[in-house]
Structure 1
Amino acid sequence: MSGFRRPSWWALLLTVAGALLFVRLGVWQLHRADFKESLLRRYAAAAAAPVQDFSQRSSSPDGAMFARVRVHGRYLADRLYLLDNPKHDGMGGVEVFVPLALHDESKLLLVDLGFLPGNGNGKQPQLPPLPEGEVTLQGLYVPPPPVGFEMGGNALTQQSSWPKTTIFLDTGEVSRDLGRPLYPHLLALDADPASIYVRVHTLDFSSMPPARHRAYAFQWFTFALAAVVILLVLHRKRKPRKSDSAKVDDVR
């Protein structure tokens, strides 16, 4: 290290702290990438898995997320929730959710009926009637859609009649609105050619796929390396210039 000057304590401390922070952020990004890839694998495996009874799978320690299940119950047909989400086509539409009451249980299971395309006039599509009495449903037990910040607060409490429309489906808000507890995940029904609902259920990581997390991790690790390199460059001893050497010889 004879070619370098001893750095000051604050420069060394700042470099070490910054490098450690960048490395920690890079590792976190790698963990996020691995987590999402694990979810995608589990989701793909569940789509082809045999159907199981919901009562058995929902009581498992992990909640049986992404399990393929069959459940019996009765729709609360007068308590529909519409997720205003025009991603499926250019004409808009809504994702329709309805609570399902199970036998002798206080908890309700929120069912994703599917996407109902709009007609391009900005009005809500016509909702078909739901069957009365007991129904048998089959689909994937999946996490609810992601939520975000909703301007104006809880949109559900501001509506006095159903169906209620929201841009984010917060299961906690839905539970409070219904006055009953909900299962932590919801049932995404299998596709049905006879249904007018579009049921293409996927894990939407398009905005932040695992590959992008790894790209960000590489950036953070690069920043950590850059911090160390900058410290070394700033404290590298400079060789005297020829003009300075000549001046010293003249003085002698």
Structure 2
Amino acid sequence: MTASAPERMRLVSGVGVLDKASLLLEVMEVGPASLTDLVERTGLKRPTVHRLATALERLRLVTRDRRGRFVLGPRLGDMAEEAGRDRLVASAGPVLTSLRDRTGASARLYRRHGDLRVCVAAVEGSGPREEVPLGAALPMKSGAAAQVLVAWETPENLYLSLRGARFTAATLTCVRRQGWAQTVGARDWETASVAVPVRGPGGRVVAAVCVSGPVARLGRTPGRRHGAAVVDAAVQLGAGLAR
């Protein structure tokens, strides 16, 4: 039996070819997908999927990864950056500066792009500079920011995101319950971090705001110590998107 399209694929334009192309992009939004994956997850016929996917590729709306799987293309990133340039990034500077001043730690804003989280805004703390520059793309398999970007996914997408991750479903249940994620020694044993989801219209998680720094400064339970400050920053950033 052919798998149905993901539950969140509900928007339709009434123009058949556009709606089918939208289905393909929705699947790729979750992560890389082979031709077979696209067929199974949309319910569309294989020739139709192939024709639309390759047409989207010619338009740079879709590209291929090293394994030949279809992924969202650079043109979509350009569009999103321009559309987004967004109120979230534009408002992030003062919010992250205030968060840095409250916690004494580096403050960053991450967005998810497929299997990566990208640092789109950053304010450095007063300690040694960390190796996470603006624009850095990191795997979604570890770290507090990765946890909050995954924790509120649909069950199907969450299951896929847990493959190879250094955190578990139980960890994400705890993240959802308390509203923040913390790590100590996730990237190196001297670093701690706390992250909180930033929510856009409709409550969808659109980014993660995070503080990180030496364990000596943030402590071994950084969430209890700084979670409230990071939550405040996330609320401010989300409020800017609602205007």
What TM-score comes out, normalization by structure 2 length? 0.25
Q: Which has the larger radius of gyration?
A: 1
Q: Structure with the greater relative contact order (CA < 8 A, sep ≥ 6): 1 or 2?
A: 1
